[in-house]
Amino acid sequence: MVHDSRLARGEGDFAADRLRAQFGRPIHLVHRLDRATSGGLLLAFDREAASALGKSLMAGDVGKAYLAVCRGWPADEAFTVDHPLDGGPGKPQKKPAVTRFERLAIAELPMPSAGFETSRYALLRAWPETGRFRQIRRHLKHLSHHLIGDTSHGDGRHNRSFRMLGIHRMLLHAEQLHFPHPFEPGVTVRVRAPVDAGFARALALFGQP
């Protein structure tokens, strides 16, 4: 987990603490990732930078793109989910939530499912335009294109199929991040995070390098 929260349930090992130890100085998290999501995480070393980046985030000037693998083939190559979501445990109020998706590739694998001899999957890129609790995961569930490896909102049958292929992680990766430089007006910082071995194994199913 990125930091301590009510979801930690007594855990004591957090990414934020590891980063403070690694850098040997205080850090300020600008945003967070779900526990099982890999990829780029934005943080600052001082309050001034954190405040500037936080304002950019609230203004919608921070762009985030994720790679995701879902069950089924979405009908459209590009589509948007506009579906309000609550804030997670203890936060029942629903707020607007919008995610744009692009279908990058499709695959049909020889794994029986629901009476069919094969199973269909899609590789997506997702751009969340809002930052709700588990937004991408829950929006994919809303479409019945469940995220592979998601044990909370996914489909257990397909998760098991991927574990049989040696892929034991949730297939959501924060691939790209861009934001205004906090101290250099007009400068945009663009960051790309490579996938790990587990996600690379999944990409290979779609003929992706």
Closest Cα partner for 149 from 66, 39, 71, 32? 71
Q: Are 66 and 137 in contact (CB under 8 A)?
A: no
DSSP bridge partners of 25: none
| Tokens of residue 46, six digits | 């001082």
CA distances from 16 to 4, 42, 46 (A): 9, 11, 14
| Residue whose token pair is 């001034």 | 48
Cα separation, 191 vs 178, whole angstroms: 6
Cα separation, 62 vs 55, whole angstroms: 9
Given the residues 34, 150, 155, 196, the one annotated as active site:
34
β-strand pairing of 38-39 with 172-180: parallel
CA distances from 3 to 40, 65, 88 (A): 15, 22, 16
Please indicate whether residue 17 is annotated as part of the active site.
no
- Active site members: 34
